[in-house]
């Protein structure tokens, strides 16, 4: 007890610590109050440890280091770049689609100054934010008109609220989709004020199921792309063109929530993602899809289809609440331009990564292994391995994309501890653990990312 009391008395005072820490160039410019709070907190924690009978370093040096680390954490941005070594291309937790250079440049060009967001250069008068992308969307999809909002969840909500509030919407029981946590078709339907009418069975829904459900109060038929699951085996859904004919007989629209909504053919592992163009060509009246899934732009929801329906949405009060901001709009326009120029497969990162050939991925994995090869002398086991990546983000469900990666383990270190080290690197590196080994999938890595991995691994080997 005596020694605890003695140690408590020896804890350095804030003033002394301040004198020590404030000469540090990184701390010098920080507000005095922030520094004092950090010091007090570390002193408090140290005192607490001592009172509980634990040993604690009470040297000025140790307390200053801890306070500096804490200040570093507080003053560092929380939303930061990471290296995606998971191979999941549209990783929702890691920000979904990385932008291409043109989209990033479009943002950079407008972000620090003013821009033509709602200004018409031809007339010098007011314009609309939608004008920048609507013609491009129509050009790429064959739609009559289009609208863009904050995200696809908002696009579905606006579509249903505008076209079906207070009336019924028919959906197949096989398509009552839930997307990552909070987006569920039945709940969005409820929010919109429309009444969900479920028809068919989980595995099979026939045209007749829809036709039997249509009555005077039916506002629309909703198709939902089962973007993150598959129903296989004994299954059926009516052909979209048949649904369109049925809906036309009753003068109601067919709405198609495509979710990922690709602009170009996307086939992998025997699974084909429906294109927006094909859906509209089949006569679907309104299509909704995400900007940051297969399209590869920023967060956005795109609504494309017949003018008569889009016009109703343009006047809906909800539109203002869910409108797209200028940064996402710039990313969207820059990305759409790549598709118009025919350069999407190389210049839109999501498309490039999804279409990367097994050969080029193997080469990239060889390069990464080469970058790390000097670590083999330090007891590291490295190997290039054939693995499967995932599209993620509600696309190509249950399809494994053939990929390559580098697996590593280190004698005397658990995979979990290596994973943690990489995750806490100054540019966090997110990897998978497979059979007690770290696996870094190269599909989503740039050359710069590979160098970051090299630096982190060298530091790990040196015990930094």
Ligand X SMILES: *Cc1c(COP(=O)(O)O)cnc(C)c1O
- Name the residues that contact ligand X, by CB under 6 A: 151-153, 156, 177, 179, 183, 224-225, 227, 257, 259-260, 290, 301, 394
Would you say 286 or 456 has its CB closer to ligand X?
286
Would you say 23 or 182 has its CB closer to ligand X?
182
Q: How far is the CB of 347 from ligand X (least distance, A)?
A: 22
Q: How far is the CB of 442 from ligand X (least distance, A)?
A: 26
Q: How far is the CB of 147 from ligand X (least distance, A)?
A: 14
Q: How far is the CB of 188 from ligand X (least distance, A)?
A: 8
Q: How far is the CB of 368 from ligand X (least distance, A)?
A: 31
Q: How far is the CB of 451 from ligand X (least distance, A)?
A: 32
Would you say 156 or 356 has its CB closer to ligand X?
156
- Phi first, then psi: give them for residue 398, nearest 5 degrees: 60, 20
- Distances from the Cα of 59 to the Cα of 21, 35, 45, 56, 68, angstroms: 13, 18, 14, 9, 14
- Partners of 199 in beta bridges: 172
Would you say 12 or 174 has its CB closer to ligand X?
174
Would you say 200 or 392 has its CB closer to ligand X?
392
Query: Looking at beta carbons, which residue is closest to ligand X?
Result: 259
Would you say 259 or 405 has its CB closer to ligand X?
259
Q: How far is the CB of 88 from ligand X (least distance, A)?
A: 14
Would you say 85 or 200 has its CB closer to ligand X?
200
Q: How far is the CB of 320 from ligand X (least distance, A)?
A: 18
Beta pairing class for 119-120 and 437-441: unpaired
Q: How far is the CB of 444 from ligand X (least distance, A)?
A: 19
Would you say 224 or 375 has its CB closer to ligand X?
224
Could you identify the residue written with the tokens 């008068």? 125
Q: How far is the CB of 415 from ligand X (least distance, A)?
A: 32
Assign 3-class secondary structure to 239-270: CHHHHHHHHHHCCCCEEEEEECCECCCEEECC
CA distance 329 to 336: 10
Would you say 183 or 380 has its CB closer to ligand X?
183
Would you say 253 or 301 has its CB closer to ligand X?
301
Neighbours of 1 (CB within 10 A): 6
Would you say 218 or 299 has its CB closer to ligand X?
299
Classify residue 234 as exposed, middle or buried by CB count within 10 Å of its CB (0-12, 13-18, 19+): exposed
Q: How far is the CB of 179 from ligand X (least distance, A)?
A: 4
């Amino acid at each position: 007890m005596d020694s605890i009391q003695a140690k408590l008395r020896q804890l350095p005072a804030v003033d002394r610590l301040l004198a020590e820490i404030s000469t540090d160039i990184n701390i010098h410019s920080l507000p005095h109050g922030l520094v004092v709070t950090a010091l007090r907190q570390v002193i408090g924690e140290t005192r607490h440890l001592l009172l509980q009978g634990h040993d604690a370093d009470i040297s000025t040096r140790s307390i200053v280091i801890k306070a500096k680390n804490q200040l570093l954490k507080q003053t560092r941005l929380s939303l930061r770049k990471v290296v995606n070594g998971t191979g999941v291309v549209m990783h929702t937790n890691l920000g979904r689609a990385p932008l291409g250079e043109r989209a990033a440049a479009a943002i950079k060009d407008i972000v620090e100054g003013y821009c033509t967001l709602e200004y018409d250069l031809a007339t010098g008068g007011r314009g609309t934010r939608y004008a920048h992308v609507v013609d491009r969307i129509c050009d790429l999809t064959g739609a009559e008109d289009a609208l863009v909002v904050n995200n696809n969840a908002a696009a579905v909500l606006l579509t249903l609220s505008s076209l079906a509030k207070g009336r019924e919407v028919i959906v197949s029981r096989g398509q009552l989709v839930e997307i990552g946590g909070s987006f569920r078709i039945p709940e969005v339907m409820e929010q919109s004020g429309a009444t969900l009418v479920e028809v068919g069975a989980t595995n099979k829904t026939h045209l007749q199921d829809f036709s039997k459900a249509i009555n005077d109060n039916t506002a629309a038929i909703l198709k939902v792309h089962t973007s993150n699951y598959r129903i296989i085996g004994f299954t059926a859904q009516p052909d979209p063109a048949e649904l369109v004919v049925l809906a036309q007989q009753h003068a109601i629209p067919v709405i198609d929530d495509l979710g990922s909504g690709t602009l170009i053919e996307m086939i992998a592992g025997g699974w084909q993602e429906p294109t927006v163009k094909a859906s509209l060509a089949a006569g679907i009246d309104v299509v909704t899809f995400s900007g940051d899934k297969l399209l590869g732009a920023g967060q956005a929801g795109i609504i494309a289809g017949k003018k008569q329906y889009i016009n109703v949405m343009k006047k809906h009060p909800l539109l203002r609440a869910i409108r797209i901001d200028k940064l996402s709009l710039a990313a969207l326009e820059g990305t759409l331009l790549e598709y118009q120029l025919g350069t999407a497969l190389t210049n839109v990162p999501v498309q490039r990564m999804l279409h990367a050939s097994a050969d080029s991925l193997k080469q990239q994995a060889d390069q990464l292994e080469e970058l790390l090869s000097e670590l083999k002398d330090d007891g590291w086991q490295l190997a290039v391995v054939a693995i499967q990546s995932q599209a993620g983000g509600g696309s190509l469900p249950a399809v494994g994309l053939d990929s390559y990666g580098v697996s590593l383990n280190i004698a005397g270190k658990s995979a979990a501890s290596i994973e943690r080290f990489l995750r806490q690197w100054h540019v966090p590196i997110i990897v998978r653990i497979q059979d007690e080994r770290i696996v870094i999938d190269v599909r989503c890595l740039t050359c710069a990312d590979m160098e970051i991995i090299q630096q982190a691994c060298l530091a790990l080997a040196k015990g930094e």
